[in-house]
Amino acid sequence: MTLFETSHKLRLFMALLFVCLTAVAGVKTIFAAVDPSVTVAPGTFDGAATEPTVISSSPSNWATKAPTSKNSSENVVTGTVVTATFNEPMDAATLNSSSAENLSTFTVKETTGNDVAGTVAMNEAKTVATFTPSLSALKLNTRYTAAITTSARNAAGVAMAHPIAWSFTTNAVALTGQAPVALGDAGLFAILTKSGVTDVYPSTIAGDVGASPITGAAIHLECTEVTGTIYSVNAAGPLPCRVTDPTLLTTAVANMQTAYTNAAGRSNPNFTNLGAGQIGGLTLVPGLYKWTTSVLVSTDVTLSGGADAVWIFQIEGQLTQASATKMILAGGAVSKNIFWQTSGAVSIGTTAKAEGVILSKTMIAMKTGASSNGRLLAQTAVTREQNAVTQP
């Protein structure tokens, strides 16, 4: 019995010693950049659940070639905004600023020490603070440091235990980053059209399908081809998977047209008439691309950028992707942030693979065996021939 008590007390002592050492180490740990995010301070052993901290940022810590300006979803160009995401809701009053000269909590500075004038605002959930510069663009090839002081408090009034800081460097040439195009209810669909869907069986669609204002009889799909719901404006359409919801479809189609207009209206393109419309074989960085001609993907094309990077392609003519070609995503790029806005028709060739959201003023035609990882949003019809469409 004595041996048990001694052993038990020894284990308890060692456990308490470990806790004390851990707590002390946590207090003395020097801030280290968490690549590729931000400088994150360690919480105390007892207070980790209540002390707020920054868990991610944009631009990320040590980011290079950050755009000097940002084009918002409302097509408003400003200097690149800097955001900090917290692990819990914050007290906006401790992060907001009433004027450009009152930014003691959330600051952005050049490494030379010059302050960047701007304003700070919180999102509705109070978890993301956004610093918007007053100028329309940051300086080229310049290193900036963003910092949040311990004056920032959470909704319960608990202050951050440690200040947070991270740095990024802007691109050497003027570059405007794009915000994603807001799709509204159109974003609920893998395929949305105003004039219906034709189909050569069998095809596969991972996502919802809808057509409006045309009758559901123009949706020529089998229920077995769709992993999702087929929405119709009336009691026509494939059964038993068809759902009648004219209200949703009217809103979704209106949102589709608004998204098309938004994408077409983005200003200050980074690239104009690149390759004279021939982009096969190119590697495309994030940004806004504009063509006054048609665009041809004659060979594989690569889109290289991070998970938050956005590509918007404004095409005044047609978009044609040659047979057996691929759109290749690299560097973490995701299809939901790729937008093809076309005034003319879209043709995806036999066995070709497309990526991204297609916003077409007219029709989208998929040839035999072609596939798309994205959305087909057409203001006329979508034609399919044994194709696969996967909603991102």
What is the average pLDDT value for the chain, to the nearest integer? 87
- Under a CB-based contact definition with an 8 Å cutoff, are residues 143 and 98 in contact? no
Task: Give me the sign of the Cα torsion angle 52, 58, 60, 61.
Answer: negative
Rounded to an integer, the average pLDDT of 97-108 is 65
* Confidence check: pLDDT of 43 > 90: no
Q: Give the pTM.
A: 0.78
Question: Residue 66: which of 150, 153, 142, 179 has the closest Cα?
Answer: 142
pLDDT band with cut points at 50, 70 and 90 for residue 14: very low
Rounded to an integer, the average pLDDT of 144-166 is 94
Tell me what pLDDT residue 74 has: 87
Q: Report the alpha-carbon distance of residue 230 to residue 208 in Å, rounded.
A: 6
SS3 percent helix, strand, coil of the chain, rounded to 5, is 15, 40, 45
Judged by DSSP in three states, 329 sits in strand
Tell me what pLDDT residue 329 has: 98
Q: Report the alpha-carbon distance of residue 368 to residue 259 in Å, rounded.
A: 28
Q: Report the alpha-carbon distance of residue 296 to residue 291 in Å, rounded.
A: 11
Rounded to an integer, the average pLDDT of 51-70 is 93
**CA–CA distance from 229 to each of 216, 238, 246, 295, 392 (Å)?**
13, 10, 14, 33, 16
One DSSP character per residue, 236-251 reads -SSTTTEEE-HHHHHH
Rounded to an integer, the average pLDDT of 336-342 is 98
* Confidence check: pLDDT of 12 > 50: no
Rounded to an integer, the average pLDDT of 344-359 is 98
32-178 CATH choice from 3.30.1330.10, 3.40.190.10, 2.170.150.70, 2.60.40.1220 = 2.60.40.1220
What are the φ/ψ torsions at residue 186 (nearest 5 degrees)? -65, -25
Q: Which of 62-71, 102-111, 365-374 has maximum average pLDDT?
A: 365-374
Neighbours of 57 (CB within 10 A): 24
Mind listing the pLDDT tens digit for each residue in 230-261?
Answer: 999 999 999 999 999 999 999 999 999 999 99
Residues 6+ apart with CB under 8 A from 8: none
Tell me what pLDDT residue 104 has: 75
Q: Domain residues of the chain, as ranges?
A: 32-178, 184-390
- Under a CB-based contact definition with an 8 Å cutoff, are residues 377 and 256 in contact? yes
Higher pLDDT: 22 or 371? It is 371
- CA dihedral 310→260→328→374, nearest 10 degrees, is 110
* Confidence check: pLDDT of 19 > 70: no
Rounded to an integer, the average pLDDT of 190-195 is 98
Residues 6+ apart with CB under 8 A from 15: none
Judged by DSSP in three states, 128 sits in strand
Q: Report the alpha-carbon distance of residue 376 to residue 362 in Å, rounded.
A: 11
Lowest mean pLDDT among 27-41, 166-180, 236-250: 27-41
* Confidence check: pLDDT of 16 > 60: no
Tell me what pLDDT residue 97 has: 55
Rounded to an integer, the average pLDDT of 355-371 is 98
Q: Report the alpha-carbon distance of residue 364 to residue 380 in Å, rounded.
A: 8
Tell me what pLDDT residue 271 has: 95
Tell me what pLDDT residue 194 has: 98
